[in-house]
Chains A and B, each alone.
Chain A
Amino acid sequence: MGKAIDLLQGTLDMLILKAVSLGPLHGYGVLLRIQQISGEQLEIQQGSLYPALYRLEHQGWIASEWGESDNKRKAKFYSLTAAGRRQLRAETEKWNRMTSLIASILRTTSEQI
């Protein structure tokens, strides 16, 4: 495991939306998926997932349903709603613009000013 990066403020929601966009997941599954996609690079406070999940559900971006986990236990599965899909698209676009902007700012050398 390489050195973990702390999660950037405000990005957790986006990551959760992305994670569940690939298929319904329970809370622990969301954690595993994010770690898996990030190649174990992101450090997430595990408990902080849940207020975020609840908030997203409350905002209507994800929906939840009780089901059975792989090990035959009762678990709550989250899936993306239509509104959530739109939100994810918007967030992604915003993020991309932001990063390219920041990146271009950071690339700036003294001659360019």
Chain B
Amino acid sequence: MNLTARFRSWLKWIVKGRRLESEMETEVRFHIESRAADLVRKGLSQQEAMRQSRIEFGGIESYKDAMRASVGVRWWGELGSDLHHGWRLLCKNPAFTAVAVLTLALGVGANTAIFSIVNAVLLRPLPFPEPDRLVRITFNEPGLGLREVPFSVPEFEDLRTRAGVFKDVSTIAVASVNLTGTGHPERLEFIVTHPNYFSMLGATPQIGRLFGSQDFALGFAPVSVISDGLWRRSYGADPNVIGRTVRLDNDPYTIVGVLPPGFRHPGPTASGNVEVFQTAGFSGDPAPPPARGTRIMPAAIGRLKPGFTVEQAQARLTAMAIQIRHDYATDYPAQAQWTIEIQPLQEALVGNVRPMLLVLLGAVILIVFIVSLNIANLLLARASGRQQEMAVRFALGASGGRMIRQMLTESMLLSVIGGAAGVLATVGTLGLILRFVPSNIPRLNEVRIDWAVLAFAFTISVLTGLAFGLAPALQSAKTALSSAIREGARGSGYSTKTGRLRDALIVSELAFAVVLMVGAGLLLRTLRDLLEENPGFNPTQVVAANLWLPEPNDPKADPYLSAAQQTSFDRELLRRMRAIPGIELAAVTSDLPTRDLRLSDAQAIDALAIEDRPVESSPDLRAERIRISSDYFKVMQAPLLRGRFFTEGDEDGKQPVVIVDETTVRKYWPTRDPLGQRVRFGADPTKPWMTVVGIVKDIKSDGLDIDGIPHIYVPIYQSPDRDLSVVLRTSLPAKLLEPQIRHEIQSIDPDLPAFNVSSMNDVVDRSLASRRFSADLVGGFAGLALLLASIGIYGLLAYMVGQRSREIGLRMALGARRWDVLKLILGKGAVLAGVGIVAGVIVSAATTSMMASLLYGVHPHDLLVFLAVPLLLFGVAVLASYFPARRATKVEPMSAIREA
């Protein structure tokens, strides 16, 4: 048959369907009228002739249908009948259909959900014009092992004017601030930028205006841009908000613009979306006068000039950094190796969640493989049962290709139904799913089911359909040729060829299950280890709350200007907290353990000086300074190793004292007694030395999975801080205490927000949120994989027993004992499981190192996991084999042979 002509006419039909329809009509009418005209010539009346002509023509509509079918839509016709046939088959086997559709829906649904996140977070470009030109700029001191060290105004000017690679550069200082004057005081995220920040990102206001060069100020410009969220929440979406005053840490700013709902600051934030945008020059009050060594700006982003790749720009910046180090040698100690690095902004934003998301994506793709293999196996069993049908069809003239197509149509029907169910389920539950996704993943607000996600889901569905449909289809076409009719009505037994294919499928299914289970095992073990890890304190029956003493730029607006004012606030706060009924002990700290507010190490870890220690080593001396009140260690139930805790008497004017932890001791006094040693923070030699009076065990202050940072505790009365966390030892729940805590705080100062009131257990738990999320998810998939693998091996053996019952009966009649039969079937299951497991272990061993960054304290080749998973899977596989094996022993030799 001429394929091209066929294709051409089919195409014509598709493209010009309507025209062909009218042509068909014209042609038929021409025929009928011509015939009628001839009949009139033979003497009939016009009316009679038309009637006669129509009768002779026959059923016009049915002929038109036949004409349409002729033009090619014959292929579609076959597809239709295949679909119909497939649908009937699916309806005839509701159990099989339900299992297949459900597992497929689960597989495709999971893929859709995870991919929608991967797509939004990792794949879609940032929602700014020319996003690939945006970079994050960091200053590092690799010589000291410090990343993201702050930079000074002259250094910022170097970026802007000297580097020559940036079109725009903006400082990025993210922090949180107290918002007052909008009903109740609130804590929110704010950012201080250069005035060109918005134009660099190509942002446009929803109402009002954004920053422009007129807003440049040495200190803080008196204007503010607010987010859509804050505008709706605190100002009721009032269009007249422009010109109103917003009070941030008591300083007044005029609102000049509101951002559109979609705008998000593209960078890490302390706790949530940035809601207030400020601009400042960092060169005037409250900032100190600019100097090269006065490094007060925390981070920057920039837009590259057209024509510069990231690599080219990096090369220029590296050269410039070397030049600057040379030009200002006194400001850049040689051993620090100060340097400038840039990184595509998108990478900087999502880089740290990439491994986790990719592991999750890998897990869902594995699960869809397993689902697909499982269905392939079920279909193959069914196809063997349908050999006769296929043979008959073949004998009646169906071609091999035609039959493969029919089988494939059936599996595609199945996969499309399953896939659609999965996608629909995901679309319906995406909001719910996202609630379980840890909020530290950036860009979650951009997650949606778009065309890319649908295309991915469709591809996954079609690929699985092809994958699980092809094997049975090819098999059936082949066996159809080989005379299944002759082999008779009672099934052809477990033919070696089909058998081998099915064995291969089950072995790969088990291997994939092993990979998934090993991955899950490693993640779960990491999580369990972290949960069981002694954090150095007892988080049970501790309630924590955060507050922040405002730090206005205008000293006159600052009620906490002096250390004495802050200390008296702390004392009053603690007095009131202790007075709340049910509170046993109360303390404050500047750093609540495991509450990750840290934006970079370099900014949180202070330079340290130790008495009698040579100055040259000073850049290496660092420790994290944590301010605490006297009862802090008692509230946290952290044990004292030696010396003493702080007392209420360790206050300003008394001898300055510190308590150090074990890491500090190990690091700085490995051979000497630390008690009585003297230290001080910063390089200022006029500051008094502080004496070590106590040693405590390490507290996992920076997160359960972070070790090795030395901590030095100082009495908060000697070194006050505005960033405060209250910790209370109590048996009462946080929810119950929250209103009282807030009431007491606001009785001291009605403008202070109390936020993040929660139990310490929840705080610790939240710090593990993304680990828990990935471990639970992969663990769930691993459980599913185990279940599917056991169903697969059970199904295979049950089918085999059914097919070979005659042979088994015969063996038993010839003297085989039931034990031999049991051994035969169990042995088969054990061999399959063994091969699959060994293959899976090999693949796992080769791939788990890719997830090393997600593990903590667990080696990627953890022996326990690599032993437990194979044993578990093997046990389940043998158990799943046992049931069909036992059924085999129940075969009645006589009846089995008689049936033959």
Contact = CB atoms under 8 A, between A and B. Distances in A.
Interface stretch (B63-71, B691-699, B731-739): B63-71
A10 interface: no
A85 to B, nearest CB: 13
A51 B34 contact: no
A50 B27 contact: yes
B30 A73 contact: yes
A59 B2 contact: yes
A73 B32 CA distance: 13
Contacts of A59: 1-2, 5-6
A48 B91 CA distance: 37
Nearest to B59: A47
Contacts of A52: 70
B5 A28 contact: no
Contact of A58 (B9, B23, B28, B35): B9
Contacts of B71: 54-55, 57-58
A59 B70 CA distance: 9
A98 to B, nearest CB: 19
B58 A55 contact: no
B425 interface: no
Given A47-B63, A60-B2, A27 B31 contact: yes
A103 B334 CA distance: 110
B37 interface: yes
B60 interface: yes
A57 B10 CA distance: 11
Name the interface size band of chain B. 20 to 34
Contact of A55 (B2, B23, B70): B70
B355 interface: no
A47 B60 contact: yes
Contacts of A69: 30, 34
Nearest to A51: B66
Size bracket, chain A contacts:
20 to 34
A69 B29 CA distance: 13
Contact of B27 (A58, A71, A76, A83): A76
Interface in B1-15: 1-2, 4-6, 9-10
A47 B58 contact: yes
A75 interface: yes
Contacts of B70: 51-52, 54-55, 58
A45 B37 contact: no
Contacts of B1: 59-60
A58 B75 CA distance: 12
B532 interface: no
A80 to B, nearest CB: 14
A3 interface: no
A70 to B, nearest CB: 9
Interface in B21-75: 23-24, 26-28, 30-31, 33-35, 37, 56-60, 62-64, 66-67, 69-72
A50 B57 CA distance: 10
A46 B56 contact: yes
B6 A60 contact: yes
Contacts of A54: 67, 70-71
A74 B30 CA distance: 8
A26 interface: yes
B9 A28 contact: no
B60 A75 contact: no
Interface in A7-61: 26-28, 31, 45-48, 50-52, 54-55, 57-61
Contacts of A51: 63, 66-67, 69-70
Contact of B63 (A26, A48, A66): A48
Contacts of B6: 58-60
B401 to A, nearest CB: 18
A59 B2 CA distance: 6
Contacts of B28: 47, 50
Contacts of B27: 26-27, 50, 75-76
Contact of A47 (B2, B37, B57): B57
Contact of B26 (A31, A45, A74): A74
A5 B66 CA distance: 24
B67 A28 contact: no
Given A69-B30, A71-B37, A58 B5 contact: yes
B35 A46 contact: yes
A105 to B, nearest CB: 24
Contacts of B10: 58
A28 B63 contact: no
A74 B23 CA distance: 10
Give the interface centre of A46, A50, A54, A61 by most chain B CB atoms within 10 Å.
Answer: A54
B11 to A, nearest CB: 11
Nearest to B20: A54
B566 to A, nearest CB: 91
Given A26-B30, A47-B57, A47-B58, A57 B69 contact: no
Nearest to A52: B70
Nearest to B60: A47
Contact of B58 (A48, A75, A76): A48
A47 B5 CA distance: 24
Nearest to A57: B9
Contacts of B57: 46-47
A28 B2 contact: no
A51 to B, nearest CB: 4
A60 to B, nearest CB: 3
Contacts of B26: 74, 76
A52 B70 CA distance: 7
Contacts of B72: 58
Contacts of A57: 9, 71
B67 A45 contact: no
A52 B63 CA distance: 10
Contacts of B34: 28, 69, 71
Contacts of A46: 31, 35, 56-58
B671 to A, nearest CB: 95
Contacts of A27: 27, 30-31
A60 B28 CA distance: 21
A31 B66 CA distance: 18
B30 to A, nearest CB: 5
A18 B615 CA distance: 110
Nearest to A26: B30
Contacts of A26: 27, 30
B54 to A, nearest CB: 10
A112 B791 CA distance: 67
B57 to A, nearest CB: 5
B30 A50 contact: no
A54 B26 CA distance: 14
B403 to A, nearest CB: 23
A27 B37 CA distance: 15
A108 to B, nearest CB: 29
Given A28-B30, A58-B70, A50 B9 contact: no
Nearest to A29: B34
A17 B57 CA distance: 20
B5 A60 contact: yes
Contacts of A48: 58, 63, 66
A83 B30 contact: no
Contact of B67 (A50, A60, A73, A74): A50
* B5, B56, B59 interface centre (most CB from chain A within 10 Å): B5
A58 to B, nearest CB: 5
Given A54-B71, A69-B34, A83-B5, 5 more contacts: A46-B35, A50-B63, A52-B70, A57-B71, A60-B5
Interface of A: 26-28, 31, 45-48, 50-52, 54-55, 57-61, 66, 69, 71, 73-76, 83
10 contacts: A26-B30, A27-B30, A28-B30, A28-B31, A28-B34, A45-B58, A46-B58, A50-B31, A66-B23, A83-B5
* Shortest beta-carbon contacts, A-B, top 9: A60-B5, A60-B2, A51-B66, A47-B58, A55-B70, A54-B70, A47-B63, A28-B34, A54-B67
